[in-house]
Amino acid sequence: MHIDVVLSAHNMEGPIHEHNEAPDRFEWNGAIAYLDRDGVLNYGSPNYINTPDELVIMPDVKESVQKLRNSGYKIAITTNQSAIMRGLWGEDRIHDIHRKLQQEIGTLDALMTCPHRNRDRCKCRKPQPGMLNMASDLIRGESHSGVNWWKKKPQPIHKLDVMVGDRDSDLGAGWAVGARLFKVNDEIGLPEVIDRIINGEPGDDFNPV
């Protein structure tokens, strides 16, 4: 059964993670830009992005990511991909898809994938902040511990930390690490909010409860 292959390839405890050393000529400002993948970088699909061919980058996204990088941000993709625990395909496929993603928009510092379904009750499926925290730990050796949705929004590790996503679950995960939040949609995408992000604007209000 396919799921057994998946389970042996990844222990399924936490997110699947890919971590790259920052490419050349980069002056890091200490902040991380957490980006959702589907619907932010590439066109989303109700039936998952199942193959590299199905990954189609949206217009001007590459330039926006370059702007972020040139402004000093490290970049962590955080994506929920429950297709994996549903047994549709395995971890290798995620690496194939992310290889194409980075061929098209450049090398990214961290690519975090939650393979779980809701019923798996993991700590990484957004709105849980597990992927963001692990990315922060990989990139800067520091992360938040836990989340209390009923308290005040926590302080970020760096004041310019930012989360961009198209769903409330993205904003929830960003809220939990104190990041500035920018919600995008079909009309207002990453290219439309990138200047506000880089100018240090506070972003969208969001209440997780």
Residues annotated as catalytic are: 36, 38
The residue (of 116 and 180) whose beta carbon lies closer to Zn ion is 116
Please give the Cα distance from 177 to 100 (Å, whole number).
28
Distances (CA, A) of 51 to 91, 99, 101, 197: 12, 11, 11, 31
In the region spanning residues 128 to 187, those forming contacts with Zn ion, defined by CB under 5 A, are: none
Does residue number 12 form part of the binding site for Zn ion (CB under 5 A)?
no
Evaluate whether 160 touches 143 at the Cβ level (below 8 Å). Answer: no
Contacts with 34 (C-beta within 8 Å, 6 or more apart), sequence order: 76, 78, 132, 135, 161, 162, 163, 164, 173, 174, 177, 179
Binding residues with Zn ion: total (CB under 5 A): 5
Q: Which residues pair with 74 in a beta bridge?
A: 32
- Residue with Cβ nearer Zn ion (137 or 192): 137
User: For residues 116 and 158, which CB has a smaller minimum distance to Zn ion in the complex?
Assistant: 116
Q: Which of residues 92-131 bind Zn ion (CB under 5 A)?
A: 114, 116, 122, 124-125
Residue 18's DSSP bridge partners are 111
- Whole-number minimum distance, CB 76 to Zn ion, in Å? 15
Report, in Å, the least distance between residue 171 CB and Zn ion. 18
Q: Where do contacts with Zn ion occur on this chain (CB under 5 A)?
A: 114, 116, 122, 124-125
